[in-house]
Amino acid sequence: MLLGPALVLSAILFVIGVVGVMIRRNAIILFMCVELMLNAVNLSFVAFATAHGFNGQVFVFFVMTVAAAEAAVGLAIILAIFRHTRSVDLKNMNLLQG
Amino acid sequence: MMTEIVFYVLAAAAVLSGLLCITQKNPVPAALWLVSTMFSLAAIYVLFSAHFIAAMQVLVYAGAVMVLFLFVIMLLNLGRAESDVKRGPAVLVAVGLAAALVITLIVVGKTSLAGLAIELGKGQSAGSPDAVLPGGGAVTGAASFSNAIGAVAAPMFQVYLIPFEITSILLLAAAVGAVVLAKRKL
């Protein structure tokens, strides 16, 4: 019976991802932390799928597809920003700051 | 019992790699530690007999997505960056969040957590390591150990056929959008 421990692991990995987004300014590492959060959610989907049938695994498939699309578009945006500011540091992206 | 030991070793590897990923100064080692986390998670998926998802994890995440990350890092020539860890209120919020997680896990504790897991996994025979395998749980129908992909494919192409097709449109839009954004002049 590993459902409980898997949920704990999922929570820990999700918080690691959130903390990474909070404390880092490098846009690429921020994206990696978002991927880590998506992975944590996938783990809880898979853990629940053992108890509630295979719909959870289908949802993991959809989450992976959306994550791949998000990574492609996000990295293209980072590339465009890098051309503009010559940096991926978020402190240089403050045009909307009051 | 063996399953539990393997799970805890893999879980420790995943958490350790995740922590190393968010603390690395240089983006390239951070990406490699993230690959390590994803491989640990893929092995955990195998323990939960989600073989198809484990293969997808290795192919899509550890393969395609991380290669994309490393490719962009090298394209932008981002090695040898100075430390970019923030100072100020954001770090306090992050530390508070981590402390909240630790307190929650301690308060919930092992006993009530097992109770929660039993509550959530009703019909599953609690306490036996075989419960993570299909047949040990509430999984019925096409679920058999030799046909793990068929068991996922059946709902995917019957119940979730329309979302599956919409996914293909999403991927097409993302591919076109990435080219439009990244290209200098169209």
Q: Where are the domains of chain B?
A: 1-85, 86-135, 141-186
- Specify the pLDDT at position B184: 79
* Section B150-155 average pLDDT: 84
- Specify the pLDDT at position B140: 44
Residues 6+ apart with CB under 8 A from B63: none
* pLDDT tens, position by position, A78-96: 999 888 888 888 888 778 8
* Distance between A27 CA and the closest CA of chain B, angstroms: 10
- Specify the pLDDT at position B105: 80
Q: How would you write A47-90 as a 3-class SS string?
A: HHHHHHCCHHHHHHHHHHHHHHHHHHHHHHHHHHHHHHHCCCEH
- Specify the pLDDT at position B121: 61
Does B179 contact A28 at a Cβ distance shorter than 8 Å? no
A 12-51 residues with CB < 8 A to B: 12-13, 15-20, 22-26, 28-29, 31-33, 35-36, 39, 42-43, 46-51
Q: How far apart are CA A56 and CA A46, in angstroms?
A: 6
Say if residue B138's pLDDT is above 50. no
Say if residue A66's pLDDT is above 90. yes
% of chain A beyond a pLDDT of 70:
98
* pLDDT tens, position by position, B30-66: 999 999 999 999 999 999 988 889 999 999 999 999 9
Q: Which domain, by its residues, includes A64?
A: 3-92
Half-sphere exposure at residue B153, Cβ-oriented, CA atoms within 13 angstroms: 7
Q: Are A76 and B173 in contact (CB under 8 A)?
A: no
Q: List chain B residues with CB under 8 Å of A82.
A: 76
Q: How far apart are CA B143 and CA B162, in angstroms?
A: 23
Residue A79 lies in a domain: yes
Which of these CATH numbers, 2.40.30.10, 3.40.50.11820, 1.20.120.1200, 3.30.450.40, describes B1-85?
1.20.120.1200
Residues 6+ apart with CB under 8 A from A85: A92, A93
Residue A31 lies in a domain: yes
* Distance between B46 CA and the closest CA of chain A, angstroms: 10
- Specify the pLDDT at position B58: 94
Does A71 contact B160 at a Cβ distance shorter than 8 Å? no
Tokens, residue B124 = 């599953």
User: 3-state DSSP call for residue B71?
Assistant: helix
**CATH code of residue A70:** 1.10.287.3510
Number of structural domains (chain A) is 1
Does B65 contact A71 at a Cβ distance shorter than 8 Å? yes
Where residue A17 falls among pLDDT bands split at 50, 70, 90? very high
Query: What are the beta bridge partners of residue A24?
Result: B85
* pLDDT tens, position by position, B90-131: 888 888 888 888 888 878 766 666 666 666 665 544 443 344
* Section A66-74 average pLDDT: 93
Residue A54 lies in a domain: yes
Where residue B180 falls among pLDDT bands split at 50, 70, 90? very high
Where residue B17 falls among pLDDT bands split at 50, 70, 90? very high
The shortest CB-CB distance from B19 to any of A16, A46, A72 is to A16
**Which ipTM did the prediction report?**
0.92
Say if residue B75's pLDDT is above 70. yes
Residue A75 lies in a domain: yes
| pTM metric for this prediction | 0.84
Does B22 contact A24 at a Cβ distance shorter than 8 Å? yes
How many other C-beta atoms can be found within 10 angstroms of the C-beta atom of residue B134?
Answer: 23
Say if residue A39's pLDDT is above 60. yes
A 55-94 residues with CB < 8 A to B: 55, 57-58, 60-62, 64-73, 75-80, 82-83, 88-89
* Section A18-35 average pLDDT: 91
* Distance between B151 CA and the closest CA of chain A, angstroms: 7
